[in-house]
Chain A
Amino acid sequence: MAEQTLTRVPLLEAQGICKYFGGLKAVDHVDMTICQGDIFGIIGPNGAGKTTFFNICTGIFTPTQGRIFFCGEDITAMSPEAVAQKRIARTFQNLQLFKFMTVLENVKIGCHIKTKSNMFDAILHTPTFKRDEAFTTEKSLEILKRIGLFDFRDTLAGNLSYGMQRKVEIARALALDPKILLLDEPAAGMNPLETKALMEFIQALNADGYTIAVIEHDMKFVMNSCNRILVLNFGQKILEGTPAEVKTNPEVQSAYFGKGMVAGEAIR
């Protein structure tokens, strides 16, 4: 959908990433380059290693082999906290919300790395504390307004519907002011209307300058929104290219979509 920019600046790069769990090659020699301004799709059948790959990118797993670079900096061995400090934000496939905190508080935690006040600031209510709290509240409310959860700010996150919980996760990730946003199946559990709204929201974010990487099974979503797509199967990279290339690649078709007319229908 988004046009190929002429000068493509690499933002997140994976070089020869492998992750083995014993004999299982969950991710096997995968290279990837996400450039500034991309909506980068990662697709593949269940168990293809997509989420594992995301976990490697965000420091939750350390790869068996290979390196991850972010803005030219090696982040391979960094802890998830340190990766988040580099402003790489992510959401989770099976929702890891702070369920018993309100929506607003959830988003406020996203502002953690952008504020500094420590315990003594909090006890004495120093100017630093007041500035931080004001900033956190203002920023969180702004994000909630934008994502359409403003009315639910005082609801416990766990009380929301599944689709809305996904939005809270995205809101929380946005609070980091991420340079890149990694979304793990954001449309899972959403109805078609919600999916469409989410797709538009992601495109709007992209238009605002956010770089987005997304794992998604909804082909309509991926083919219409992403400008680059990485296809994984059994931990191996099949192809990295534009939606058009992915659609026409026979290997992708046979590995992922199956063969025959049905696959063709699905893509369209």
Chain B
Amino acid sequence: MATTQAIQVESLSKRYGKNVQALNQVSFEVGRGELFGLIGPDGAGKTTLIRILATLLLANEGQALVNGWEVRRDYRKIRSHIGYMPGRFSLYQDLSVEENLHFFATIFGTTIEENYELIRDIYVQLEPFRKRKAGKLSGGMKQKLALCCALIHKPVVLLLDEPTTGVDPVSRQEFWEMLKRLKEKEITILVSTPYMDEASLCDRVALIQKGNILSIDKPAGIVSAFDKPLLAVRTNDMYRLIHDLREFESTHSAFPFGEYVHLALRNAIWPEAIHAYLAGKEHTDIEIKPAQATIEDAFMELMTQE
């Protein structure tokens, strides 16, 4: 295998016990300096995949290379050159912001000063709290600190497991902006998330469900693969609406989407026909408008095909 790719995964499978197939023949590649998203619901196998790449779990079958190193054999090399941020906040809560950073810098054989350039944008926000214990930080701040700690040794590859789960929307946005800036410094980033809206912020994404990769493409490519007419529908009784829409003859699929239900149609029909159908089912305040397909629609579509 050539070592031009930052991450190469080939037919990777992982079972827990006899019955749980966490990963099933997963293959993909991540190029150098790419921001690659792993999108999927809880239990899809994202954490397992990232842990295998971080040399913390062994796969049952298949091969995985990080920066050209094999995860089983060359685990020591990989451990010195990757940054890994687990899904759960895993810093020392009774150590201050500064002490945590200093600790991780030292165990990776570097100093804060040496790579300060890399974390400066993030760390300036933490600087006012540098004497505060990590356990007393807000959720967003914790994640920023964890990112700093994972970055402080200037890793070649950064593995982030659901870094934005449980973080407020503003901090989430800030976090993604930071990832974009890191990309410019030629760090390869593999990030997993259950939030579909974050997919569009990646260079490429892999949609993963129940251990299978459903699709790998640029975000735009995944959206454009969705070719059904799409409408956003809203009435007074949203719960009954989904049920009723799914019974409608022209309906391909109907899923809740924020305040609306996204209705994908088998064939193009006039919205008036749907209006009439819903009115017949005693819905009021009916609102129907055309909708732009998103990654989430594409993902739902792929999931129903499975």
Do A and B originate from a single complex? no
A contacts, CB < 8 Å to B: none
